[in-house]
Structure 1
Amino acid sequence: MANRLAGSSSPYLLQHVDNPVDWWPWGEDAFAEARRRDVPLFLSIGYAACHWCHVMAHESFEDEATAALLNQGFVAVKVDREERPDVDAVYMSATQALTGHGGWPMSVFLTADGLPFHAGTYYPPRPVHGMPSFPQLLEAVTDAWRDRREDLVGSAGHIQAELRRTAVTTLPGEVGAAELGAALARLDADFDAARGGFGPAPKFPPSMVLEALLREGGPGSMEQVRLTCEAMARGGMYDQLAGGFARYSVDTDWVVPHFEKMLYDNALLLGVHAHWWRLTGDPLAARVVTETVEWLQSEMRTPEGAFAASLDADSADPGLLGSPGRSAEGAYYVWTPQLLVDVLGEDDGRWAAEVLSVTPEGTFEHGTSTLQLRGGVDPERWAGVRRRLREARDGRPRPGRDDKVVTAWNGWLVASLVDAALVLDRPDWLEVAREVMDHLWRVHRVDGELLRVSRDGRPGTSRAVLEDHAALVLAAVRLAGALGEATWLERARTTAEGLVQHFDDGAGGFFDTPSDGETLYLRPQDASDNATPSGLSTAVHALAELGRVTGETRWAERAEQAAASAGGLVARAPRFAGWLLADAVTRLRRPAVEVAVVGDPDDPATAELARTARHSAPAGSVVVVGLPDTPGLPLLADRPLLGGRPSAYVCRDFVCALPVTSADALATQLRPSAAV
């Protein structure tokens, strides 16, 4: 019989509908039930593509005896961390404080007031390596609640007080030339010059840091970008058959990924590779951009026109990993030399094994290998082999898809997709970006309130957090400039007004949750970038670009205040402040500009000026194309055609150089040494 999760919009929660555990969704009803029964809560937080979440579900939550312990002694609550990042953030803080590490599934025991008193991550069904079994833990907590409750409640209060005391909500500081230099030097020290990337395994895609290095643009920075992007794109973390990146590499050589594919990673890496191609014309960058967009459209697009959250790491094993028919990580993606021969024939199969590093010993498990494409290959032969292998792989059991639509992740994708469309001249991609934004504006705003997720075209119930508002502003600003449509600029301004009103912390920065949102035992505020840019660093970029395209100094000033509220992170921990570092580079070394291209957008001369501006303007610049004095687009106001010809105005803070009518003259004005 289905439990209380049956009405959820979260695919992760729906995975647990048929568990014998009497799960409750997060909410006051669950806490009221804990008070009524006088029992603690067991909070389990995870997400649909999480491998170890699946393992614990199969081992414990589907087990009748374990479920009986949970149902008897606790109110069990399930949370999708992607739907409720605020709940995840505050209890992750407690888990890390109590255990020294974190991860998912997160397992936290709470009082009926929501205060944590014990926490961990994955627990096995039987004792192993000194770790208690999950049933042993449940029994121990039940006994302690019965016999030593006062100690547990006191401990929970102490944990809350200590977390409030030690929480570093901001690390203020202006970033000047010295701090910028220190940040770049620290990155250089952490860089793996042999393999690309930063630090030891596991290696995560350093998307935000790569953006900062691309903006800095010096020889050392560009070499770090090249090595890292090549290593990721040629290794097993990139899907050589379909495109798109897996979550991270478990080894230092980028060979074996953790196979889940997240929308946010691919959104951010799409932007990085588009920027890399714009600066260098590297064909690998263009290939990654094109293949990733193709993968996004073929496998991640929802019927409503937006993009789904993730593909699972696990799928049913077709017999490659020693567990036929059972769920196994990576089963969809791995190959053996014989399988290649079976699909391609002897000659192409042996060639494919050589160029894709598929060995008899295997690079993964059970003699299987991930696919790598380390060197150059005959493009025509590779295209045919790639197509045939992908068709064969399509016959395997597919990984599950979490098809909820997350506002921030789709916003980051639109921002990157607009950039990619403009520099690679793909108007069809620009139309996709518009369709995504239409969906977000139509479905994710209810009675003027922005929501976090939707599914099947129906809005969820979770309020949007800071990153959702900021990513939507960034996407809308870029779409307004690309399309020359005032509607999107007004929507960006409306969303930014709400962001500043409801998330302001009173000290220049922002909280991650709105002032009128649900009260948790801590109000989350984290300025550091992790797998994704922080809400604050996204807001810095979004408000800065909004200021450039509108000419309203209040947005630029608010962006500068927000950057200064966490500027101390840049020199101390640049790997976790990539977008703040990118902002600092723009301010201190590669100043952004505004470019107004006036003329009929369908006129080839106008299009050539626009193309030049988009290829040559420093990162963070805004380019708006349209007829002079187009209503609602301030950058086009009072910018007449020069001699009746399409013209370009290069401006800084809306103070413009003399207009030009040729692409060569515009490129000259946009060179780094040129003054505006």
Structure 2
Amino acid sequence: MTCRNVFDGCCRSTRDRIRRGRWRLLVALFAAFASLGPIPPFTSHTQAQETVHDPNTDEPAHTNRLAKETSPYLLQHAHNPVDWYPWSDEAFEKAKREDKPIFLSVGYSTCYWCHVMEVESFEDPEVAAVINEHFVPIKVDREERPDLDEQYMIATQLMTQRGGWPNSVWLTPDGRPWMAGTYFPKQRFIAVLKQLDEVWKNRRDDVQKQADMLAKAAERLGESGFEERPELSAALVGEATAQLAAGYDEVHGGFGGAPKFPPHGTLQLLIEQYRVTEDASLLPPVTQTLDAMWLGGIHDHLGGGFHRYATDREWLLPHFEKMLYDNAQLMRAYADGFALTREPRYRDAVADIDRWLRQEMTSPQGAFYSAIDSGEVGKEGEAYVWPIERLSEVLTPEQAELFAEIYQFRPEGNFREESTGEQTGTNIPHLEASIETIAEQRKTDPAALRKRLAAIRSALLVERNTWPQPHKDDKVLTSWNGLMIGSLAYAGRLLDEPRYIRSAERAAEFILDQMVRDGVLLRTYRDGTAKLPGYLDDHAYFADALLQLYRATGDERWLSQATALADRLLADFEDRQDGGFFFTTDDHEVLLVRSKHLGGGGNLPNPNGVAANVLIELSELTGNPAYRESAERTLRSLAGRMKQQPFTCEDLLVATSRWLATRAEDGTGAAGTMTADAESDRLERRVGPLRIRVSSTATKVRVDETFIVTAVIDIDEAWHLYAANPEAPFVQPSDIEVEESKSLVIGETQRPEGERRVDESLDQAINAYTGKIEFAVPVTVRPEAVDGEIKVTVRVTTQACDDRRCLPVEVSSFQVPVTIVSGGERDRPRD
């Protein structure tokens, strides 16, 4: 797999200096490595690790320092003849003491080419001898240490214009990269090692200069990278949405060409904008993409859940890993799909992911494991594909024929090996139409066909489970668990499925009980050991999960825990100077780069965007303006990136949309600018230093009857609002507007009297409001109004000021429910 290009839109000059600059010799040396022959297509699978044993003792022939680690990836290398170190002071001290460069290898447990390189090179005594003699080797699990992964991936992309895993980087003893690559076949790797040893010994000045340049370039690329800061506006979000939607594949669904990853962020943004704008053109890209993935081979039709990505444009040929974070985000997308369309297949997709999660990925304590790999080296996907004749060994002839026909099996096979493109004679189950459509074509009852196929799939899964199974990475990551907890709670609330919410609560309780030490949220847990202080994504994703649990259950403990995490975000991660959040705290290890991890580290949500969303919601729930102010600083600081690189910024754009919706700056109100969980439906809201409460004197009224709509505003101490000031028309008076409709006639607004005070910022006397004020508007039901509930649209315009500044004008929209009835007594006032 090739990483996204880090050079788009920023730091091109730095990259170009490295490519053509005065250190041509080292770059030319790397080019010479590339000339040794082609590297196989780059992917990201994994194997079930083989361990080298001494045949005479049945004990491992080698054991290195990784044997004391908990990471499955590091443990897979614990018996390599390479003298691996974990990332540690011990390794760097050895490098300094012996004046050796460091060879850093970064990968993860479900990375196929990581394990290809292990089998070819790291298990090979010849390669190990060269590494051990000339280098200090360090292994890093990128999922445990995303900070290290990002830093050294930047170096690799600067050097090679590509990236992926395993990431192979050569460092000076103080940790600065000076040469980098990815996967190397054995003989080329030996040649690279020997030539770099020669360079280190004989051209040290060149190495140091290269390391200095790469370190400086990496530092720049770790920054936001955009000086332009456009205004936060609906136009900014709309233009970014249009840019992403332009990549829509109208034939096969998804966006762009092969390979196709599940487009989590793009789907979320399109769904958000569809709800905001009601633009019908945004829905087909969502539903067609959801349908294409659900029908295609990327979906495991037998075991449930989704593989990591499709290697083709049609979603047929999967890259077979299954990642917790992909399935978490897909669960939320399919729940949204059902909420928007009420199509049963989207509810089925959520249940399908939940079934896989329960059967394969849930620990006895209720937490969620990280991933399942694609199979052993040379046997990728064998746990998922079928020769057509094998169906007959499990099913009756009639069942085998029916399944083969519906799930597109062919005698010659429909599956092609990814790296060679050759047919293997095996089949990956997939559908070309929904079961309902197939039933209609076959003139059979859809429910009966679904039941028959479910029984067949169950029988085939039982058989498949007897085959050798792929390796499972059973570590628990707080960030990825946060994604799944949030999605379970969200889906449980939207679909009214309490079992999803119970699973989410159990996993959240595990993290709070086992992965918090002395008030510090930790990153990873395995075999009873939790370790490593959590990063930005751990805090942001888990805080969002706790908010979803609060919304699903109403249990205040989840809100309290989310608030505590938000306070930690502001105290430990926030960039108070420029806005946004760093990926690490001051307590984390000092690295070359303290970045904001804006790329998300793969197909993951942008953690700054998630943090902003969390803070916007918490501000509304708690009334704490500091949360909203922090979210605004974050969004403004990254507005240039949103404009120029909307891909990977979808969560920031969603947060911007929600910030605009709660601000309602353009005065268009709530109905057209709110999400499915419309803030306008809440009749009490915190807006900066103000608490606004809207109510009506009746909830049930007759025709020709008049009721009163009121807005009560509590103004924080040291703040004021403007009243009407004819002599100062440039200030914004506070006011209330009730929207007239075919059912309602709006009377004259009754406004409170202002008090005269000197406004120091204006240096003149004005009419102002302080403390608590109340506006009232009489509303009369028209004679022709029909029975039923209506929503009375109320807009409250305010501009809060203190003695130093005025905040932006806010237009807060509310929807007050009133029911028109034919007769009966008028309701009592609303509580």
TM-score in same-fold range (> 0.5) = yes
Structure 1 residue aligned with 2:383: 332
Structure 2 residue 170 is the aligned partner of structure 1 residue 109: yes
Work out whether residues 212 and 585 of structure 1, in 8 Å CA contact, stay in contact via their aligned partners in 2: no
Amino acid at match of 2:433: G
Structure 2 residue aligned with 1:546: 618
Within a 5 Å distance, the mapping from 1:523-534 to structure 2 comes to 523-529=594-600, 530-534=602-606
Q: Secondary structure at the match of 2:253?
A: coil
Alpha-carbon distance, 1:459 to partner: 0.4
Alpha-carbon distance, 1:583 to partner: 2.3
Deviations 1:381-422 (A, max 9, x none): 211111111111111111111011111111111111111111
Choose the corresponding residue for 1:394, options 451, 454, 465.
Answer: 465
Structure 1 residue aligned with 2:540: 470
Structure 2 residue 438 is the aligned partner of structure 1 residue 373: no
Structure 2 residue aligned with 1:319: none
Alpha-carbon distance, 1:31 to partner: 0.3
Structure 2 residue 320 is the aligned partner of structure 1 residue 259: yes
Structure 2 residue aligned with 1:163: 218
How far apart in 1 are the matches of 2:145 and 2:694? 46
Alpha-carbon distance, 1:652 to partner: 13
Q: Secondary structure at the match of 1:493?
A: helix
Alpha-carbon distance, 1:304 to partner: 2.0
Q: Secondary structure at the match of 2:434?
A: coil
Within a 5 Å distance, the mapping from 1:370-449 to structure 2 comes to 370-377=428-435, 378-449=449-520
Q: Secondary structure at the match of 2:302?
A: coil
Q: Secondary structure at the match of 2:533?
A: coil
Deviations 1:21-62 (A, max 9, x none): 110000111100111111110000000011111111111001
Q: 1:431 to 1:165 in 2, by over 3 A?
A: closer
Structure 1 residue aligned with 2:264: 207
Alpha-carbon distance, 1:642 to partner: 9.8
How far apart in 2 are the matches of 1:642 and 1:185? 44
Q: 1:308 to 1:624 in 2, by over 3 A?
A: farther
How far apart in 2 are the matches of 1:513 and 1:652? 42
Work out whether residues 167 and 181 of structure 2, in 8 Å CA contact, stay in contact via their aligned partners in 1: yes
How far apart in 1 are the matches of 2:631 and 2:488? 23
Structure 1 residue aligned with 2:800: none
Structure (1 or 2) with the greater strand fraction: 2
Alpha-carbon distance, 1:581 to partner: 2.1
Work out whether residues 154 and 221 of structure 2, in 8 Å CA contact, stay in contact via their aligned partners in 1: no
Deviates more, 1:80-89 or 1:274-283: 274-283
Alpha-carbon distance, 1:341 to partner: 2.4
Choose the corresponding residue for 1:483, options 553, 568, 578.
Answer: 553
How far apart in 2 are the matches of 1:281 and 1:159? 52
How far apart in 1 are the matches of 2:155 and 2:81? 28
How far apart in 2 are the matches of 1:653 and 1:161? 52
Structure 2 residue 397 is the aligned partner of structure 1 residue 354: no
Work out whether residues 569 and 576 of structure 1, in 8 Å CA contact, stay in contact via their aligned partners in 2: no
Q: 1:275 to 1:149 in 2, by over 3 A?
A: same
How far apart in 2 are the matches of 1:177 and 1:653? 27
Structure 2 residue 566 is the aligned partner of structure 1 residue 496: yes
Structure 1 residue aligned with 2:74: 13
Structure 2 residue 193 is the aligned partner of structure 1 residue 138: yes
Alpha-carbon distance, 1:621 to partner: 5.2
Q: Secondary structure at the match of 1:328?
A: coil
How far apart in 2 are the matches of 1:306 and 1:582? 28
Within a 5 Å distance, the mapping from 1:655-666 to structure 2 comes to 665=789
Work out whether residues 215 and 590 of structure 1, in 8 Å CA contact, stay in contact via their aligned partners in 2: no
Structure 2 residue 110 is the aligned partner of structure 1 residue 67: no
Work out whether residues 169 and 526 of structure 1, in 8 Å CA contact, stay in contact via their aligned partners in 2: no
Q: 1:55 to 1:639 in 2, by over 3 A?
A: farther
Choose the corresponding residue for 1:88, options 111, 133, 149.
Answer: 149
How far apart in 1 are the matches of 2:713 and 2:653? 21
Amino acid at match of 2:397: E
Work out whether residues 170 and 566 of structure 1, in 8 Å CA contact, stay in contact via their aligned partners in 2: no
Structure 1 residue aligned with 2:235: 178
Instruction: Name the Cα RMSD after superposition.
Output: 3.2
Unaligned runs of 5+ in 2: 1-61, 418-423, 436-448, 665-672, 685-690, 700-708, 715-735, 739-775, 777-787, 795-811, 817-831
Structure 2 residue 530 is the aligned partner of structure 1 residue 459: yes
Q: 1:288 to 1:83 in 2, by over 3 A?
A: same
Q: 1:96 to 1:656 in 2, by over 3 A?
A: farther
Larger RCO: 1 or 2 (CA < 8 Å, sep 6+): 1
Q: 1:82 to 1:223 in 2, by over 3 A?
A: same
Choose the corresponding residue for 1:519, options 590, 596, 615.
Answer: 590
Q: 1:205 to 1:186 in 2, by over 3 A?
A: same
Work out whether residues 467 and 512 of structure 1, in 8 Å CA contact, stay in contact via their aligned partners in 2: yes
Alpha-carbon distance, 1:376 to partner: 2.9
Work out whether residues 10 and 80 of structure 1, in 8 Å CA contact, stay in contact via their aligned partners in 2: yes
Q: 1:42 to 1:623 in 2, by over 3 A?
A: farther
Work out whether residues 325 and 484 of structure 2, in 8 Å CA contact, stay in contact via their aligned partners in 1: yes
Within a 5 Å distance, the mapping from 1:537-576 to structure 2 comes to 537-576=609-648
Alpha-carbon distance, 1:620 to partner: 5.8
Amino acid at match of 2:506: E
Alpha-carbon distance, 1:522 to partner: 1.4
Q: Secondary structure at the match of 2:104?
A: strand
How far apart in 2 are the matches of 1:47 and 1:622? 41
Q: 1:589 to 1:551 in 2, by over 3 A?
A: closer
Amino acid at match of 2:215: Q
Work out whether residues 102 and 121 of structure 1, in 8 Å CA contact, stay in contact via their aligned partners in 2: yes
Choose the corresponding residue for 1:535, options 607, 621, 637.
Answer: 607
Number of corresponding residues: 619
Unaligned runs of 5+ in 1: 127-132, 316-325, 593-615, 629-634, 644-648, 659-663
Amino acid at match of 1:444: M
Structure 1 residue aligned with 2:654: 582
How far apart in 1 are the matches of 2:317 and 2:97? 49
Within a 5 Å distance, the mapping from 1:631-650 to structure 2 comes to none
Amino acid at match of 1:113: D
State the identity as a percent: 39
Choose the corresponding residue for 2:253, options 189, 196, 202.
Answer: 196
Deviations 1:509-545 (A, max 9, x none): 1111112210011112232444101220110111112
Structure 2 residue aligned with 1:341: 392
Deviations 1:609-661 (A, max 9, x none): xxxxxxx9824657999xx9xxxxxx9x9999999xxxxx9x99999999xxx
How far apart in 2 are the matches of 1:328 and 1:483? 45
How far apart in 2 are the matches of 1:123 and 1:305? 40
Structure 1 residue aligned with 2:580: 509
Amino acid at match of 2:192: L
Q: 1:158 to 1:266 in 2, by over 3 A?
A: same
Q: 1:220 to 1:668 in 2, by over 3 A?
A: farther
Work out whether residues 590 and 618 of structure 1, in 8 Å CA contact, stay in contact via their aligned partners in 2: no
How far apart in 2 are the matches of 1:149 and 1:369? 54
Q: 1:95 to 1:666 in 2, by over 3 A?
A: farther
Q: 1:308 to 1:652 in 2, by over 3 A?
A: farther
Q: 1:26 to 1:355 in 2, by over 3 A?
A: same
TM-score by length of 1: 0.86
TM-score by length of 2: 0.70
Q: 1:348 to 1:623 in 2, by over 3 A?
A: farther
Structure 2 residue 347 is the aligned partner of structure 1 residue 290: no
Choose the corresponding residue for 2:330, options 250, 269, 277.
Answer: 269
How far apart in 1 are the matches of 2:257 and 2:69? 39
Amino acid at match of 2:121: S
Structure whose alpha-carbon radius of gyration is higher: 2
How far apart in 2 are the matches of 1:265 and 1:652? 45
